Structure 1
Amino acid sequence: MIPISDNFYSWKKPIVTYWLIGINIAIFCGELNLDIHGQLGNFVNSWGIIPLQTKIAITNAVFYNSAAWIVVFWRLLALPISLFLHSSFSQILGNLLFLWVFGKTVERSLGRQRYLMLYFAAGIFAGMIQIFMESKLAIPVVGANGAISAILGAYIIKFPKVKIDSVLPLIIIFIPVEIPAFLYLFWWFIQQLFYSIGGLNIPGGIANLGYWGQFAGLVTGAAFMRMVKR
């Protein structure tokens, strides 16, 4: 299933969504350039979320050496930055497609400031959950999956019965259909299985945000929209 549009029209331009999509594309182009020159591994290891390193840094800072808080700050700084890094063509295409279809309507509903706050707060919270739940993971985790999950969760709470214009690709035939928005809640998690397609060449490997983190983002978005509705 490929979402195309939700047919919500408004004179309000989703400026934040435009900017988020543009920044993600620009940074991914930078990743491709680093990949060509063999420097992508160092960049992603510096700015991706590495749960094991973060856990070790926090442990050292709390129990052994207060100067280690500098390292903790560095590792936590990766939480918002990693939202703009992606590990494959399929991951960035999937994320930005959902951001475009669902994000622009959520932005119009919440307003630009609250929408941007939701995007970063949910993305950072999802990364923290990932660190807590997979504290032994020694490879970097990247992607805006947690933030996009939050947008999807907020959308489902606000517009649970809206029909999404979609296409169903059947081999070389694309069939236009309308699919209830809530079904994309399930499809979002299923399509993560294909995010390794078109992966970038990073020594040691790289991981997408896991289901724990994405579920945290989804719940955050749903709770935020419910609070705003009240």
Structure 2
Amino acid sequence: MIPISDNFYSWKKPIITYWLIGINLAIFCWELKLDVSGQLGNFVNSWGIIPEQTNIAIANAIFYNSAAWIVVFWRLIALPLSLFVHSSFSQILGNLLFLWVFGKTVERILGQQRYLLLYLAAGVFAGMIQIFMEPKLSIPVIGANGAIASILGAYMMKFPKVKIDSILPLIIVFIPVEIPAFLYLFWWFIQQLFYGIGSLNISGGVTNLGYWGQFAGLVTGAALMRMVKR
């Protein structure tokens, strides 16, 4: 299932959604350049969340050396930065497609400032959950999956039964259909099984945000939309 549009029209331009898509694409193009030059591994290690390193830095700062808080600070800075780094063509295309279809409507409802805050805060919160759930993970965690999940959660809280114009690909035939929005809540998690397609050559390995982190983002988005509705 490929979402195309929810057919909500407004004179308000989704400026933040445009910027988020543009920044993600620009950084992915930079990743492609680094991939060719063999420097992508260092870039991802610097920008990605590495739970094991983060937990070690926090432990050292608390129990051994207060100077280690500098390392903790940098590892925490990586939480929002990691939202803009992607490991494959399928991951960035999937994330940005969902951001475009569902994000522009959520932005119009929440307003630009609350929408941007939701995107960043939910993404950071999802990363923190990942650090807590997988404290021994030694490879970078990257991708905007948690932030996009929050947008999806907010949308589903407001419009669970809205019909989404979609395309259903069957081998070489593409069938236009209308699919209830809530079904994309399930498809969002299923489609990520295919996010390894078109992977970049990242030395040392990399992983996408786990389902616990994405569930945290989903709940965050739904909770904010519920508060706004009240």
TM-score (norm 2): 1.00
Structure 1 position 55 matched with structure 2 position 55: yes
Structure 1 position 77 matched with structure 2 position 67: no
2:14 — aligned with what?
14
Measure the CA separation in 2 of the matches of 1:154 and 1:88.
26
How far has the Cα of 1:212 moved from its partner? 0.6
Structure 2: unaligned runs, 5 residues or longer: none
Match of 2:197, SS? coil
Map Cα deviations across residues 146-185 of structure 1 (whole Å, 9 max, x no partner): 0000000000001111000000000000000000000000
Match of 2:109, SS? helix
Measure the CA separation in 1 of the matches of 2:21 and 2:2.
18
1:30 — aligned with what?
30
Measure the CA separation in 2 of the matches of 1:200 and 1:213.
23
What amino acid maps onto 1:69 in structure 2? W
User: 5 Å matches for 1:124-139?
Assistant: 124-139=124-139
Match of 2:177, SS? strand
Map Cα deviations across residues 180-223 of structure 1 (whole Å, 9 max, x no partner): 00000000000110001100001111100010100000000000
What amino acid maps onto 1:126 in structure 2? A
What amino acid maps onto 2:195 in structure 1? Y
> After TM superposition, where is structure 1 displaced by more than 2 Å over at least 4 residues in a row?
none
2:204 — aligned with what?
204
Match of 1:131, SS? helix
What amino acid maps onto 1:28 in structure 2? F
Measure the CA separation in 1 of the matches of 2:110 and 2:74.
31
Measure the CA separation in 1 of the matches of 2:163 and 2:62.
50
Map Cα deviations across residues 68-104 of structure 1 (whole Å, 9 max, x no partner): 0000000000000000000000000000000000000
Map Cα deviations across residues 12-64 of structure 1 (whole Å, 9 max, x no partner): 00000000000000000000000000000001001100000001000100111
Count of equivalent residues: 230
1:228 — aligned with what?
228
TM-score (norm 1): 1.00
Measure the CA separation in 1 of the matches of 2:25 and 2:119.
17
What amino acid maps onto 2:33 in structure 1? N
2:191 — aligned with what?
191
Match of 2:202, SS? coil
Structure 1: unaligned runs, 5 residues or longer: none
User: 5 Å matches for 1:144-155?
Assistant: 144-155=144-155
Structure 1 position 86 matched with structure 2 position 86: yes
